[in-house]
Structure 1
Amino acid sequence: MAYETRTLGETIRARRRAAGLSQEQLAEEARVSVGTIRKLEQEAGHARVETLHQIARVLGVSTSALFAPGSPLPVEEDGRNRQLLAQLRRVLMPPVGIATTEEPADLGQAEPLPEIRRRIEDGLKLYQADRYDSVARMLPGLLRSAEAATVAAAEEGRDQREAALVRVHALQLAGKYLTQVRQYDMAYQALVEGIRLARELEETLTAVTGVTGLCWLLIRQDRFDEAENLAATTAERIEPRLSSASPGQLAAWGELCLRAAAAAVRNNRPDVATEARRMAATAASAIGQEHEDFYSHWSRFGPVTVQLKAVEDLALAGDARGVLRRVDDGLLSRSAMRKVGRPSAMTVNRHRLDVAWAHVALGSTQDAMDELERIRRTAGTWMQHQPRARDVMRDILATRKRSLTKEMREMAAHLGIA
């Protein structure tokens, strides 16, 4: 039976009937309301990807199989972001005409390569500290300097490889930041250009870092099939020998396995996700601790990171009790983290959002608020860029029977919820 040309509602209805389920049965097994199923089938509502994942799991199909082509919904143009990021867009996406040679951009004076590398490291620290405004301000000049250094090195016939690598790392920083703030068109441009340059240099591990970032971008765009395939095929090509691989090689491979698992679990392919998680755990165990090196892999990686991502799977499956059972358990305990190190702040905060979701799913709205407040105190700017945070807050507001507390009103305002 062909479903490709059907709308989302038609596809769900056809799949449900083929499975012999009523709307009530599908709702019960997917842990959603009957009203949600009815609205979806009547094209009267919009579903979160998590909801579609739960429905797909019951119907025995991939989440991607439910997606339907169509014209995007009208949205208000984001003129503010367009203005704020105009310089960065100009650097990453210059106009291209039909002439074989275009007027070269004014890149300014080439800086010494050690200075550019220092600025990249400063930018990474700003990014990790959630100082996104500062990163946005520095990136246009940093990217111009890196390109100017590449041009100068080619003209002078020296340091060409080092200059090209510096430019790759500047592009990867831009891709990391732009994906985080959901500017996907520019993020794609930065990451793909970085991968291309790294491949030309035959710097495999550096190219893999870009691929890991690109997989993250694809997952955020709900392109699960493509993300899983890209991560899995790349991981297969670089699978290291555990006995002799460096921590950076193990981490790069392990991160790709995590990306493959993340895409597969969202796409209702649990067996694939389990195997990918197992390989990531193997890499993490071989390293033995949380490892961070921007120049060899995308983010901090190690045993705790792998465990947190496994808990994320429980949240995606709608297992709120399972999520709460794993809080501070085993490798996630404070004592264990003192031994093997802490994962990145972003990984921890994503986990805390899953914990907040689990609390509200079980009716503990105050516990959920406590988690959100904790994240806001340490990563308030990061939180504003997380749809998961807004979803949790909307669930709190929807289940609140009494008038809102002051902290609820302030949190809703912080997250831009009317």
Structure 2
Amino acid sequence: MTANIGKRLQEVRKRRGMSQRQLASESGVSLSLIRKLEQGERADTRMETARQLAQTLRVPTTSLIAEHVEEDAAETAGTGDRWGALRRALVAPVRTDQLSEEPTVDGVREAVESALPLFSGDRFAELSVILPPLLRDADLIADTGPEGRAVRVRLSQLTGWLLTQTRQFEAADIALTRSLEDASDRLQAAATVNTQCWLLLRRGRLAEARELATRWADEVEPRISRATPAELSAWGWLLLRASAAAIRDNRPGEAEDTLRYANSAAVAMGREFAPRDDFLQAFGPVTVALKRAENAMIVDKPDLVLKLSARIPTVGMRPTSNNRNRHLLDVAEAHARSHNYAKTVEVLQGISADAPQWLPNQRYARDIFSRVIARRRTLTPEMRSLADAIGVPL
């Protein structure tokens, strides 16, 4: 978020006739943070904090926040500019004179399919190496006909998802725009829009995310009695994105309505739909339950999060396709807000063991663990190791 959040916060607070101390008391946000934001000493704050302030001031969250800026690559796990070659591959023209042989549609398609476990397993180091040349080859086959374009659509969609995951927002926008422009299949286009909505959410553009998700959900809404799992998945995910945008923008009624429609799609599905060839389509009752818990955490109901989590069978779930890790961060946060710091650390250690490359990219995890260690006089070796894994300075 830009430094303007402090200026807007001050303007709205004064219009409401509230002092900084009164806003702090009613919102639960520290007086110190409010002062630093308004004085320009802090130019950034978490979405949940902005939502708390906006809720107290009775305005949409979008009236306070501005677009997130592209994160410095060094912030993401200290890996340097891991994604520089990938960003260049998205915008640089293809040099056919440097190729020893032309790529084939079948060959590139097989390469994309073989890379799926790397995407679903959050294996960022390997992906940063293989994707630049793969994008180049996909560009070359895109002009050969519909089959070649379909391969590039798929790869661009996956790349956009990866770059959104790792906070390379401008590059993600390029990849997803290309995927949508080339898409000829309505459901594949809807899957790309789903990721575009997620990108908008991560950038704090809540109104845009809500509008885009709602419009496309109306566009692809199936007749439930005849709908295929893929159709239900596309519709359900768009509804979940609309709900996520609404709850963050202080529209709880709208968030609950769209979540209820998403649950209708999940009930019609009858089970968790998780096709092997497209982990991004994973959807069903468990996915909706995870997002219901996420909404509960956004509105600061840790007890409800833990209650809902106890009913969700997360054991054996694939981390990315079922949003398991994101849900477990909500569980860790709920334990932290309940002052059960030992359980918080235990949950974070479990995520670190399952997804060591994913966790350092999560600002949410850093915020949670930073608050835990701030309340400890001494740290155990395990906690120091976890701090290194998450990227929290000691």
Instruction: Give the alignment's TM-score, normalised by structure 1.
Output: 0.85
- Out of 341, 351, 356, the position equivalent to 1:365 is 341
**Equivalent residue number for residue 16 of structure 2:** 19
Query: Aligned pair in 2 of structure 1 residues 285, 84: CA closer, same or farther (>3 Å)?
Result: same
Partners of 2:70 and 2:125 lie apart in 1 by 29
Query: Any idea what SS the aligned residue of 1:39 has?
Result: helix
Partners of 1:293 and 1:42 lie apart in 2 by 50
Which letter does structure 1 place at the counterpart of 2:373? L
**Equivalent residue number for residue 304 of structure 2:** 322
Identity of aligned residues (%): 37
**Equivalent residue number for residue 39 of structure 2:** 42
Deviation at residue 232 of structure 1 after TM alignment: 0.8
Partners of 1:57 and 1:206 lie apart in 2 by 36
Mapping for residues 175-194 of structure 1, pairs under 5 Å = 175-194=160-179
- Out of 131, 143, 147, the position equivalent to 2:135 is 143
Structure whose CA Rg is larger: 1
Deviation at residue 207 of structure 1 after TM alignment: 1.2
**Equivalent residue number for residue 389 of structure 1:** 365
Query: Aligned pair in 2 of structure 1 residues 387, 299: CA closer, same or farther (>3 Å)?
Result: farther
Instruction: Give the alignment's TM-score, normalised by structure 2.
Output: 0.90
Which letter does structure 2 place at the counterpart of 1:36? L
Query: Aligned pair in 2 of structure 1 residues 319, 163: CA closer, same or farther (>3 Å)?
Result: same
**Equivalent residue number for residue 58 of structure 1:** 56
Deviation at residue 301 of structure 1 after TM alignment: 0.9
**Equivalent residue number for residue 99 of structure 1:** none
Query: Any idea what SS the aligned residue of 1:243 has?
Result: helix
Partners of 1:302 and 1:272 lie apart in 2 by 21
CA RMSD, Structure 1 to Structure 2 (Å)? 2.9
Deviation at residue 104 of structure 1 after TM alignment: 6.0
- Out of 105, 115, 118, the position equivalent to 1:113 is 105
Deviation at residue 231 of structure 1 after TM alignment: 0.9
- Out of 10, 30, 33, the position equivalent to 1:33 is 30
Query: Any idea what SS the aligned residue of 1:291 has?
Result: coil
Contact 1:92 1:190 in 2 (8 A): yes
Query: Any idea what SS the aligned residue of 1:298 has?
Result: helix
**Equivalent residue number for residue 289 of structure 1:** 271
Contact 1:231 1:259 in 2 (8 A): yes
Deviation at residue 289 of structure 1 after TM alignment: 1.3
Query: Aligned pair in 2 of structure 1 residues 244, 178: CA closer, same or farther (>3 Å)?
Result: same
Instruction: Could you tell me which runs of 5 or more consecutive residues in structure 2 were left unpaired when the two chains were aligned.
Output: none
**Equivalent residue number for residue 90 of structure 2:** 92
User: What do the CA deviations read for 1:196-253 (whole angstroms, capped 9, x no partner)?
Assistant: 011xx3x211111111111111111111111111111111111111111111011011
Which one has more relative contact order, counting CA pairs under 8 Å at least 6 apart? Answer: 2
Deviation at residue 75 of structure 1 after TM alignment: 6.7
- Out of 244, 247, 264, the position equivalent to 2:226 is 244
**Equivalent residue number for residue 195 of structure 1:** 180
Which letter does structure 1 place at the counterpart of 2:165? Q
Partners of 2:122 and 2:4 lie apart in 1 by 39
Query: Any idea what SS the aligned residue of 2:336 has?
Result: helix
Query: Any idea what SS the aligned residue of 2:348 has?
Result: helix
Partners of 1:37 and 1:300 lie apart in 2 by 40
Deviation at residue 27 of structure 1 after TM alignment: 2.0
Instruction: Could you tell me which runs of 5 or more consecutive residues in structure 1 were left unpaired when the two chains were aligned.
Output: 1-5, 96-101, 154-159
Partners of 1:249 and 1:148 lie apart in 2 by 31
Contact 1:120 1:173 in 2 (8 A): no
Deviation at residue 414 of structure 1 after TM alignment: 1.6
User: What do the CA deviations read for 1:370-392 (whole angstroms, capped 9, x no partner)?
Assistant: 11111111111111111111011
Partners of 1:342 and 1:191 lie apart in 2 by 24
